[in-house]
Each structure stands twice: as structure tokens, then as C-alpha cells.
Amino acid sequence: MNLVTRRLILAGAGVGAAALGAGFAWRQLNPPVSSPVAQAFWTRRFTGLDGTELDVARWRGQPLLVNFWATWCPPCIKELPEINQFYKEAKGRGWQVLGLAVDQAEPVKAFLKKTPLDFPVALAGPEGLGLVRELGNPAGGLPFSVVFDNTAEISWRRLGVTTLEDLRKLADS
């Protein structure tokens, strides 16, 4: 094989590797969303407890646990400290957690004064029960948790109390 042929082969391999790398990077920054339910979720905005708007699209492409809860729901209150512990353990591995309160602002603020959480909490309000149904919980019961994976698709759902052990297993899988 002569020198020109060798250089052409190496240049072709370099261009191919660069194209693969660029494709991988683009896919990481722009994960595909094919399901209509996931597409609808990523366009949502919720009201933060300080009145600001929270755009969930900022977490797209990262594993995101969304927990629907309410101050009037004893099983919800029971699981929140474990979800908070999970967040503390898993955020270093790219996991995000969002608490969506199907509640009013004042009871949520009062609850969070007694039981502070390290992850963001926003208000889904009464419309949150409709969202819960859209995300795969036809009964609309609480607590309800859903995980969006790094492709922005739903990869896990749980109606009822989620334990720290469940979440650890989920993060490890």
C-alpha cells in the first residue's frame, strides 16, 4: 500500500470517527421524544412556591424522578423524606427530582418549613390530577411517581409509596 492510499484511509477513518462523535453529542443534547405523553410533559411549566415559573424542559436529557404529592395525603408525607434522601445520594450521578404538589401554595409552604426538601417543589394544583392520569395513573391516586430517563421517555411508574430502597435499585439499573 502506498503512502497516498494509507493517508486516504486514515483521513476517511478520522472523518468517520468525527461524524460518529458529533452524532452522539447531538443526540445527548437533543434526545428524541417519540411518545405524545412525554412530549406533552416536556412542554409544561409549573408555578414555584415563590411564584416564579418552572420549566421542566431544563431537566430533559437527564434522569428525572417526578413525584406527585399533597399535604393532605399521609402516604405522600411518609415517602418524601426517603425521596429527599434519594436525591441527596443520586444527584451526583445526574439524577434530578421534582416534587409536584397537587395542593395550594400555603399548605405546601407550611409543610416545607417543618420538613425541608432539597429538591425543587412546584405547584401542580388541582390540574395535577389530570396530569397524573395522562402519565399513566388512570385512578388519579396519590402518591404517584414517574421517571423520565435520559432519552426523555417514561421508564418507570409507581402508584403508592416509593421507598428509598426502590429508588436505589432503580438508579442502579
- 12-66 pLDDT, tens digit per residue, is 555 555 555 545 555 555 555 469 999 999 999 999 999 999 999 999 999 999 9
Residue whose C-alpha cell reads 417514561 in the numeric block? 154
For 140, left (φ over 0), alpha (ψ -120 to 50), or beta? left
Average pLDDT for residues 148-171, to the nearest whole number?
96
Going by pLDDT thresholds of 50, 70 and 90, the confidence category of residue 108 is: very high
Into which CATH architecture does domain 36-172 fall? Answer: 3-Layer(aba) Sandwich (3.40)
pTM for this model (two decimals)? 0.81
Average pLDDT for residues 96-111, to the nearest whole number?
97
Residue pLDDT, tens place only, 59-93: 999 999 999 999 999 999 999 999 999 999 999 99
> What's the CA gap between 110 and 36, in Å, rounded?
36
For the cut 90, the answer to whether the pLDDT of residue 96 exceeds it is yes
Amino acid at 23: G
> What's the CA gap between 155 and 17, in Å, rounded?
31
Mean pLDDT of the chain, nearest integer: 88
Strands 64-69 and 96-101: parallel
Separation in Å, CA 151 to CA 26, 61, 66, 144, 154 = 12, 6, 15, 21, 9
Question: Rounded to 5, what percent of the chain is helix, strand, coil?
Answer: 50, 20, 30
- Name which of 67, 41, 35 is nearest 56 in CA terms: 41
